[in-house]
Amino acid sequence: MNYSNLIGKSVLVVEDDPKIRNLVKIYLTKEGYEVIEAEDGAEAKERILQYDPCILILDLMLPKFSGEEVCRWVREDLNSVMPIIMLTAKASEKHKIQGFKLGADDYVVKPFSPAELMVRIEAVLRRTASRCGKLTFHGFMIKPAKGVATINGKKLELTHFEFKLLHTFMQHPNQVLSRDQILNLIYENNEKAVSDRTIDVHIKHLREKIREMTPNEYIHTVRGMGYKFEVLS
């Protein structure tokens, strides 16, 4: 699997059985995905609104709201094209047909192979790549094409360069980047409009704006080396 294609890919796993949910989470985390969890239909709706995940792994027999109701809500009420894989014990042809009619992109029957599920997730994301033109990490979400960045659903008001900085950090999570590396990543044509002497000021302003919206520190200074956007769980 090409890990570089998975950076920023968040998966919402909706499953009321904690053992199955944890098993899927272990495999997803190992493959480089960020995992969001929900144990019932109501919580699934909350997580979708909060995190806008790139793909939804959805059990059908759920407390509060069924998986079918969640799927219908995503497709009709939200008018969302978020990729959905139904993961369920409902194995009949009738249920499969109903799932696809509701808008599922794939249908996996329990008991299932976690390794096969990973392949199916990758395949669905590959087919639906244009639907997920964003990066997400622990409440952060950025849509490069639209110039939108949010934290926990609240918009970050950033300058053009601050937006580029955040985008660069989110493309390289948990990596130490020198000032020169950051500038090279931002200005691929080497026509640098900002010097490495002033980048510290821009990062300081970006940090301040993030702190106004969350108490957590994400951009860390690594003395003598540069900066790191840290998103470890």
Residue-wise pLDDT for 99-123, tens only, equals 998 989 999 999 999 999 999 999 9
pLDDT beyond 70 at 170: yes
pLDDT beyond 70 at 2: no
Count up the domains in the chain and report the number. Answer: 2
Q: Report pLDDT for 1.
A: 42
Q: Would you mind telling me the total number of residues written for the chain in this entry?
A: 233
Q: Report pLDDT for 131.
A: 64
Same domain, 84 and 144: no
Residue-wise pLDDT for 183-222, tens only, equals 888 765 444 555 667 888 999 999 999 999 988 889 999 9
CA–CA separation, 134 and 141 (whole Å): 7
Same domain, 118 and 163: no
Cα torsion 111, 24, 153, 176 to 10°: value is -160
Element (H, E) at 201: helix 199-211
CA–CA separation, 46 and 61 (whole Å): 18
Domain carrying residue 9 = 3-131
Mean pLDDT of the chain: 86
Reported as a pLDDT band with limits 50, 70 and 90, residue 79 is confident
Same domain, 106 and 182: no
User: Global pTM?
Assistant: 0.64
